[in-house]
């Protein structure tokens, strides 16, 4: 699965105040986890230990403190403090099923063009 980022994500005011470690945890830990799981950007507190990201010394997981900072900055939404959703996930990440359908459609069109050119 792919994770789509806008070309201006590095200058986002919401990310600007995060430490490098917290930004790394957000992108490579939380966002990548959600993309791999194809969970629509939704997760629970119990899933934090599985949200791993690399650091120079070892792999780490997203912490409850980091998650609280993401909620405070509006990067993650919660209604009950136990379940969470990445803010605007569906605005940036395609539905994995429709993305697969699009890739299959593009493959069929490419193959049809190749047959016509032969």
pLDDT at 106: 82
pLDDT at 101: 61
pTM across the whole model: 0.79
Q: Is position 103 within any domain? A: no
Q: Is position 105 within any domain? A: no
Give residue-wise pLDDT tens across range 39-48: 999 999 999 9
Give the residue numbers spanning the domain of 54: 9-87
Q: Is position 24 within any domain? A: yes
Show the low-confidence residues of the chain (pLDDT under 50): none
Is residue 93 within 8 Å of residue 43, measured between CB atoms?
A: no
pLDDT at 57: 92
pLDDT at 53: 94
Q: Which residues contact 23 (CB under 8 A, 6 or more apart)?
A: 15
Is residue 89 within 8 Å of residue 76, measured between CB atoms?
A: no
Q: Is position 51 within any domain? A: yes
The total domain count for the chain is 1
């Amino acid at each position: 699965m792919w994770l789509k980022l806008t070309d201006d994500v590095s200058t986002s005011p919401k990310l600007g105040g995060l430490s490098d470690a917290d930004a790394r945890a957000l992108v490579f830990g939380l966002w990548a986890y959600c993309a791999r799981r194809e969970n629509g950007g939704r997760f629970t507190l119990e899933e934090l230990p599985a949200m791993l990201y690399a650091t120079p010394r070892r792999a780490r997981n997203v912490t409850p403190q980091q998650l609280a900072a993401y909620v405070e900055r509006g990067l993650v939404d919660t209604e009950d403090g136990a379940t969470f959703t990445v803010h605007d996930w569906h605005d940036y990440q395609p539905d994995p099923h429709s993305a697969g359908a699009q890739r299959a459609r593009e493959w069929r069109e490419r193959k049809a063009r190749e047959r016509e050119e032969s």
